[in-house]
Structure 1
Amino acid sequence: MSTSTDPAAQIDALRGEIDACDAQIIELVQRRVAISQEIGALRTASGGTRLSLSREQRVLDRFRAALGDDGASLGMMLLRQGRGRL
């Protein structure tokens, strides 16, 4: 972080860091969606179901454990991005 004592400059620098984090998050979500859709297509092509509820529950549990109830909501949003609404 900047050593400037000007709060406006510090805020601008921190917002720049947030913008960089957001860009990385967006890139990772797009990658996750593509991977999830590929898995769904492979499962369907091999005669399986499009999704695995037990796998989805493990994902939600992991997000909840790391981030609380909002984490579970985030995990559900990511699942919907990859497979669509049920």
Structure 2
Amino acid sequence: MNDMTQTKVRRGTLDATGDGDIGGMRQRIDEIDQAMMSLWRERARLSGRIGAARLAAGGTRLVLSREQQVLRRFREGIGSEGVQLALLLLRAGRGPL
């Protein structure tokens, strides 16, 4: 191991298996997190607008069948953690019940 590699290992930026650079992977995770937060805000805005339009048209505040579709899609796509994520997304768009 050369001096630079030893320094990276001590700093925790080099994957111990040698498969890649932890710092680079963490940077990519940060980029993904930023995109997810942006998408979260956009989704909440759109969902809020849909709810407001539905109420203005005399409809209900929420549509349970639609929420069930979202929950099912996330469960099938991610698993049990997906349900928790979907519940958070739904709440962000409609607010607490």
Q: Same fold (TM over 0.5)?
A: yes
- The residue type paired with residue 62 of structure 1 is R
Runs of at least 5 residues in structure 2 that lack an aligned partner in the other structure: 15-20
- Tell me by how many angstroms 1:25 deviates: 0.2
Identity %: 48
CA distance in 1, matches of 2:69, 2:96: 18
- Give structure 1 regions of 4+ aligned residues with deviation exceeding 3 angstroms: none
SS at match of 2:85: helix
Q: Which residue of 1 aligns with 2:18?
A: none
Q: Deviations over 1:8-29 (max 9, x none)?
A: 2511110000000000000000
Picking from 81, 84, 87, the partner of 1:70 is: 81
- Tell me by how many angstroms 1:50 deviates: 1.1
Q: Which residue of 1 aligns with 2:90?
A: 79
Q: Does 1:58 align with 2:69?
A: yes
Runs of at least 5 residues in structure 1 that lack an aligned partner in the other structure: none
Q: Does 1:26 align with 2:69?
A: no
- Tell me by how many angstroms 1:85 deviates: 1.3
RMSD of aligned residue pairs (Cα, Å): 1.2
CA distance in 1, matches of 2:94, 2:77: 23
Greater gyration radius: 2
TM-score, structure 2 length as denominator?
Answer: 0.80
CA distance in 2, matches of 1:67, 1:13: 25
Aligned length: 82
Q: Which structure carries more relative contact order (alpha carbon 8 Å, separation 6+)?
A: 1
